[in-house]
Amino acid sequence: MPDVPLRPNILLINCDDLGYGDLGCYGSTANRTPNLDRMAAEGMRLTDFTMASPVCSPSRGAMMTGCYPRRIGFATFEGRWVLFPGQCVGLNPAEKTVAAVLREQGYATMIVGKWHCGDQPEFLPTRHGFDHYFGIPYSNDMGRQAGHRAEYPPLPLLRDETVAQEQPDQAALTERYVDECVRFLRANRSQPFFLYLAHMHVHLPLYAAERFMKQSGNGRYGACVEAVDWAAGVLFHELRQLGLDRRTVVIFTSDNGSRGDNGGSNGPLRGRKGTTWEGGQRVPCIVRWPGRVPAGAVCREVTTSMDFLPTFAALAGTRPPTDRIIDGKDIRPLLFGEPNAASPHDALYYYFKDQLDAVRSGRWKLHVRKGDQDVRELYDLEADIGETANLYDRNPDVVTRLEGLLQRCREDIGDSAAGMEGANCRPIGRVENPDTLTHYDPDHPYMYALYDLDQVG
């Protein structure tokens, strides 16, 4: 491994529901993404990067902890796919996030944007290693919205643990988020920092600033993608202005695949958000670090968002927690373009809620469950990225090996379809007497008493 200075700054940009085919550097012709395309040209584009879930709360919990959602109790949330306002469950305070690991190494830490790992005080980012927080703690469709969710409490915009505004103008939020990020960069230019920008885009409802609405060639969706690209451009410009460009690792990705029905695209992948086909969990991932990550590189090895925690820990000169199982791996050899570097994963597992649906090992992916039905489908993802040609009957030895991996996973973290709990699962966080962060007040002078777009997702 090359001589790499420890404790680089780390900027993690995570989108919401952005699909594999939504960026120019991943094949999009519908959306203009010049800044992100330049990021890929100056860094590394990962082609086989997978989130640990096809929906947001379990995906984000896994990315923060380096663990499969089921291992940390994040498979379901009182039976629901994701967390909703005022639930009594969230990320257990005993879990250690990547922010907590880095803060112990002297990093300044901040999250701007969507958290979605619990909205009770015990579950907020400031209780999980982040010095500061500014953003909406869950999805942007979980406020008061005409036609769908007028009964919801007002959408809260938090600063640290205090509600700064209720029902904010969503079309202005991306600019406000970028302003917070720039302030953080300037305030912490002299010390190592971890900044996590978690966009609300491109989750429904699709609100974007007028500028992007006018210039988009792909409707509201394209406007939101272009707003994300603009934000990246601002942050890269600021890093250069502060002299931090070569001291900062920037990672860009998405929490799960696109819905695919509102202007988004998963490119050649089968499936969509909420499914364990590749379109639900394989997402764009770009890594840029001038002088360390080779420019214009493409990594085709299997990687996952759970790798962030051990990789960032190693960059900061420390190790991931040793008192618990961490599923992610240190992927620095891949990112640095070392000769013959290979994926450290012998298998990656795909869960639908608490049900084990599929496993990938190398080029092969075996599906054994879809909904409430058993299936037997084997795909060669190197030859057939779209999962179109079922090779199950032609490769009995591969099937046997992958079924053995699935059984190993069931014994480790369980599978509801097989009636197995798993031996190494940790509990979700839980509090008594939960409450929502806001309550509707008919006399409050809201900017938007009801959001007008008839979109939820």
Q: Domains in the chain, please, with CATH?
A: 9-335 (3.40.720.10), 348-424 (3.30.1120.10)
What is the per-residue pLDDT for 150? 66
Q: Is the pLDDT of residue 2 over 80?
A: no
Whole-number average pLDDT of the chain: 96
**Helix-strand-coil split of the chain, %, nearest 5:** 30, 20, 50
- Residues 8-26, mean pLDDT to the nearest whole number: 98
Q: Is the pLDDT of residue 269 over 70?
A: yes
What is the per-residue pLDDT for 148? 72
The number of beta carbons lying within 10 Å of the beta carbon of residue 88 is 17
Question: Which tokens hold the place of 315?
Answer: 């960059």
Q: Which of 15, 25, 67, 116 is catalytic?
A: 116
Angle at the Cα of 263 (from 259 to 266), degrees rounded to 5? 50
**DSSP assignment of 177-243:** HHHHHHHHHHHTTTS-EEEEEE--TTSSS----HHHHHH-SSHHHHHHHHHHHHHHHHHHHHHHHTT
Helix or strand (DSSP H, E) at 366: strand 364-370
Q: Is the pLDDT of residue 457 over 80?
A: no
What is the per-residue pLDDT for 455? 83
Residue among 71, 118, 42, 31 nearest 306 (CA): 71
d(CA 368, CA 392): 11
Q: Is 439 a catalytic residue?
A: no
What is the per-residue pLDDT for 3? 54
**DSSP assignment of 154-183:** PPEEEETTEEEEES--GGGHHHHHHHHHHH
Residues 369-408: tens digit of each pLDDT: 999 999 999 999 999 999 999 999 999 999 999 999 999 9
Q: Which of 15, 56, 67, 224 is catalytic?
A: 56
- Residues 49-54, mean pLDDT to the nearest whole number: 98
Residues 130-155: tens digit of each pLDDT: 999 999 999 999 999 987 766 789 99
Q: Is 56 a catalytic residue?
A: yes
- Residues 74-83, mean pLDDT to the nearest whole number: 97
- Residues 221-242, mean pLDDT to the nearest whole number: 98
What is the per-residue pLDDT for 324? 97
In eight-state DSSP terms, residue 418 is: G
Residue located via tokens 């989750």: 203
Q: Is the pLDDT of residue 114 over 80?
A: yes
Residues 309-352: tens digit of each pLDDT: 999 999 999 999 999 999 999 999 999 999 999 999 999 999 99
What is the per-residue pLDDT for 151? 76
What is the per-residue pLDDT for 156? 98
Task: Judge contact between 65 and 97, C-beta under 8 A.
Answer: yes
Question: Which tokens hold the place of 203?
Answer: 């989750």
What is the per-residue pLDDT for 149? 65
Quick one: three-class SS letters along 100-129? HHHHCCCCEEEEEECCCCCCCHHHCHHHCC
C-alpha pair distances (Å), 364 with each of 156, 282, 399, 443: 43, 15, 9, 59
At 257, give phi and psi (nearest 5°).
-75, 175
% of the chain beyond a pLDDT of 90: 95
- Residues 36-48, mean pLDDT to the nearest whole number: 98
CB-neighbour burial class of residue 420 (10 A; exposed 0-12, middle 13-18, buried 19+): middle
What is the per-residue pLDDT for 147? 79
What is the per-residue pLDDT for 117? 98
SS3 148: coil
Q: Is the pLDDT of residue 5 over 70?
A: no
